[in-house]
Amino acid sequence: MGTRQTRPRRLLLCLDGVPSDQIHKAKDRGLFEKFGAPSRLLSPFPTMTNIALPTMLGGSTPLGYETFYFDREARELRGSVTKYLGRRTAEKIPSSYMDQLDYQEPLPFEFLVYVAPETVWRADMKRFRDRFRKAPQDRDYFAFLKGTDGLLHIRGAKRLEVALHSLEIILSEIQQWCGTETEIVLFSDHGMSVKPHKRVSLQSHLRRCGFEFTKKLSNSSRRQVVLPSFGLIGFAALNCSTGEEPTLTDSIIEVEGADLALYRDDPAAINVKSVRGLARIHRREENGEVLYRYEMLKGDPLVLSPISDQLRKDGMLRADEFARAKIWTSRTAAHIYPDALANLYTSLQTSRVCNPADILVSLNDGYYIGWAAFEYIVKLAATHGNAMRASSTAFVMSTHRDFGDYVTADQANGVLKQ
């Protein structure tokens, strides 16, 4: 990674799926004493590795949200589990961010981490430590440890505590070996809702509402839906017949466990619907600055009216109800939906994936959707994917720097590599 440099060497270490609150608890137990206070790293929705890391590291755009995805040009379901078989070849790399990694687990471990997380985690840490010690010492080293994600998904917070203690020992050894001039930056790609989870009966409900699930959308048919399913996660990405978005969204939010449903309203707005109501998020650029407006059409689905009222009192909300994006971010960084307006708007109106959904659904904490076959293998102790605080709040901390209260995903590339 990178070329020879004049500043001291830096170790960048990403822990897959570790929430900010778990790192704060580890610090409270006395771990990572040589690191400064953790800052919140706001992960983009959907809160998935292959969405977060291309944003944070400046990688290429993945084809879809997961292994299975809807190809908008072909109008059909694509993808295969064979990506987890054999070696990690070019066609099995979802984004160019992987080219920046000096260490990541062997390809089969990407799946096995959810079957035997302790075994994979121990092997992963040992392999990382050995490879780091053998690497050139005149440039940065970037490692990604996926075992933490599997531990939390399958074993929960207690097993993660044990793993973090082991990691602390390894990082202390590395610091003694490299010297204190080597900066270590520890961060995660997304958080996790650590609690028992229940499956959402989305498909059966929508069938009862008259929708047909298919692998290919017909240009002439109505009420057709494609729902790619793979991991047991907290969001759903649906594609549908043209013009069906409002009706389909109305049906989705009736399902137990569904929190928010998002769809495009026009080229500069998205609609957000929940049981709390319907709102529209508008985006505008003026003189090189981005502004957002939260228009409550009926109720307050994002629970932002207190923040809007305070912005109005503070003179930061204009007469047309727009406010600067940076202001919205600062006021919602710790909200139930962190960075609510920018995060949700950009989930549909920018290219986080090459084949975006027509509707994105964020489930409540404690609920998941995914490939039913996985339920015979694992019992979820935690998962991620939704737009809520637990999944959206990752962390970043350093032995040498303080990053402030929060860092957005778009800011992370400069923070990590400056």
Which residue ranges form the domains of the chain, and what is each CATH number?
Answer: 10-60+95-192+390-417 (3.40.720.10), 198-380 (no CATH)
Q: Is 417 helix (H, G, I), strand (E, B) or coil?
A: helix
Tokens for 10, please give them: 């830096």
pLDDT number for residue 218: 86
Q: Which residue positions in the chain have pLDDT lower than 70?
A: 1-7, 81-93, 107-112, 376
pLDDT number for residue 178: 86
How does DSSP classify residue 374?
Answer: G
Q: Please state, as a whole number, how many other Cβ atoms lie within 10 Å of the Cβ of residue 159.
A: 18
Alpha helices (H) along 155-257:
157-178, 202-208, 245-252
Distance between CA atoms of residues 365 and 376, nearest Å: 22
Contact predicate 22/387, CB 8 Å: no
Model pTM? 0.93
